[in-house]
Structure 1
Amino acid sequence: MSTTSRRAPRRGGRVGRGVRGAPYAFLLPAVALFALFFALPIGYACYLSLRKVEVKGLGLGKGAREEVWAGLANYTAALSDSELLTSALRVLGYGALVVPAMLGLALVLALMLDAERTRLTGFSRLSIFLPYAVPGVIAALMWGFLYLPDVSPFHYVLERTGLPRPDLLDGGPLFLSLANIALWGGTGFNMIVIYTSLRSIPVEIYEAARLDGCSQLQTALRIKIPVVAPALVLTFFFSIIATLQVFSEPTTLQPLTNSLSTTWSPLMKVYQDAFVKNDIHAAAATSVIIAVVTLALSFGFLRVANSRTNQGENP
């Protein structure tokens, strides 16, 4: 009896230690993947951004090219590069077109699907979301051929009817063409997020609004939109990140027009530095700058959104 009573707590202690360590064991694969595919590449990019290649003589022969410490020289060169500044301004203008139009259209579509008299909501949700499942390169290729005057069916119809055929791959319309591709592909995802938030609103709130004499428009403006404000903040946050990282659409359309330079967006500038000019260190510095700017804008927007939410909850 005494021996058994002495050993029982020891067995219980072993079980307790195993149970306490179980959450860490379950988290270990996720932590390993995060470190291997996220933290390690970021650290390596930061390391490369602080190095440069020093060429001796003609750069020929063994030991003629040596990687040395550069400090902040790559960052100074990137921040003073006019091409990077110009591409950043282009992306800001592109985002000013895409983000408000995308979120506004997604909100309108979500409100329409959530209306009481809407039919075939399942088919409508799938139809609106389906373009998001199309890869960005394929979508850009498809729209690119629709924009080309020689192969586009729209241009053929306009020519047959005697109407002018606009060049959608040149000048000002080029921004609208790129924005249309992003709008077509990203609206469905944002709509699903907003629509899911709308479906979580209790039915009792709608019944109370109906008893108070609110129309569907008043219910949407006074109940639905304020309630889905967190979903709008989330979609706006994702849209900003996607806009700052635009790459596939202009890169795919670039061979189809002379109006798109090889450094149209900051990420295209990174690609040119890394794989065309073979300057991986300058590309790493530019990548770090883009990541820091994206983080700062996202964090600042979230702070502003949270402060306004707190003020609304505590008037």
Structure 2
Amino acid sequence: MATMTSPARARGNADQHPGTVARRRQRVGWLFVSPFLLIFLIFLVIPLGYAFYMSLFTSTLAAGTTFTGLDNYVTAFTDPIFLDGMRRVALFALVMIPLQIGIALVAALFLDTLATKLSKASRLLIFAPYAIPVVIGALMWGFLYSPRFGPASTLFEVFGLDAPEFLSSSMIFGSLVNIVTWQWSGYYMIVIYAALRSINSSIYEAARVDGATGLQIALRIKVPMISSSMVMVLIFAIIGTLQFFTEPVVLRNITPGAIDAAYTPNMYAYALAFQYSQFNYASTIAFSLGILVFMGSYVFLYFTRKQSGLDR
């Protein structure tokens, strides 16, 4: 006897079809992601689009606001003030990034060898500077650098010497490098340390059986195995350094002319917008910096694609 399938049961069987289940899961996934996408759209995509739109115009008292296309970008990439700030930031990157990554890598390798409670306390102490807000950290170092109120003057007086002018034009570069290195090395250390902890410890045991020393294990096994994490850390460092802003802005008010309003490209854009009301050209400078950051990151990823796994 033939059996009849009710419409309700047929619909139930259709609902169990793999394609239907996959589409339902996609809808649920988009539902969970939609709050982030909405915030991302409102607070990032739309402001960026409006800023780019502003960069295509020029405002003057005589002619008002006129559409000039990419003329502002031609001006930006021939602007000696902007280019000088970019050269200064590039020099910061050449000095700060190897110093930060080197300190973070050494600290992570050292902590990876510890198996005591001292390891947890050390990780916390090294990471603590990153937990301090950047503005507060810069103000604290400004006090420490002060030739009148800082502890350096007292310390050097003990030896009958004058304290160095850490905030002078000749030493402000090194002072800023020290602040940023102190602030960010702990964060990079945590990323590298997490990558090290994901390596199977049996690999180290096999290397020791073969006669490898601790230094050989660190340099020939650990570092190559975390190359993708190292590339990620380097990208973070490159982007952060090229966007250098907060520390020089905070120290500018307490330095004797060592930091001007155009010390970095971000500071230049800020000064154009909020001191000279040149919002169109300020948007152009900001986007020009973004273009250079993107190009620098892309070139770095291209030459390190094997280590970062992008060539798979």
Q: Tell me the TM-score normalised to structure 1 length.
A: 0.90
- How far apart are 1:307 and its partner, in Å? 4.0
- How far apart are 1:309 and its partner, in Å? 6.3
In structure 2, which of residues 30, 36, 41 is the aligned counterpart of residue 30 of structure 1?
Answer: 36
Does the alignment pair 1:6 with 2:12?
no
The count of aligned residue pairs is: 305
| 1:172 match: secondary structure | coil
Counterpart residue number, 1:302: 301
Does the alignment pair 1:276 with 2:282?
no
Counterpart residue number, 2:202: 204
| 2:165 match: secondary structure | coil
- The one-letter amino acid paired with 1:6 is P
Distance 1:199 1:246 in 2: 31
Could you say if the C-alpha distance between residues 2 and 43 of structure 1 is closer, same or farther in structure 2, counting changes exceeding 3 Å?
farther
In structure 1, which of residues 187, 193, 205 is the aligned counterpart of residue 191 of structure 2?
Answer: 193
Counterpart residue number, 2:75: 77
Distance 1:69 1:192 in 2: 48
Note if contact 1:112-1:118 (Cα within 8 Å) is conserved in structure 2. no
- How far apart are 1:116 and its partner, in Å? 4.3
Instruction: Give a deviation string over 1:288-315, Cα, whole Å, max 9, x none.
Output: 111111011111111111146679x99x
Note if contact 2:142-2:251 (Cα within 8 Å) is conserved in structure 1. yes
Note if contact 2:243-2:266 (Cα within 8 Å) is conserved in structure 1. yes
Distance 1:37 1:12 in 2: 44
Distance 1:228 1:97 in 2: 23
Q: Which moved more, 1:142-151 or 1:167-176?
A: 167-176
Could you say if the C-alpha distance between residues 23 and 117 of structure 1 is closer, same or farther in structure 2, counting changes exceeding 3 Å?
closer
Does the alignment pair 1:244 with 2:250?
no
- How far apart are 1:49 and its partner, in Å? 0.3
Name structure 2 gaps, 5 residues minimum: none
Aligned-pair Cα RMSD in Å: 2.2
Q: Tell me the TM-score normalised to structure 2 length.
A: 0.91
Q: Which moved more, 1:5-14 or 1:38-47?
A: 5-14
Does the alignment pair 1:115 with 2:98?
no
Instruction: Give a deviation string over 1:111-170, Cα, whole Å, max 9, x none.
Output: 110114765101000000010011111111110111110011122110232124211112
Does the alignment pair 1:126 with 2:132?
no
Distance 1:192 1:19 in 2: 35
Distance 1:307 1:262 in 2: 41
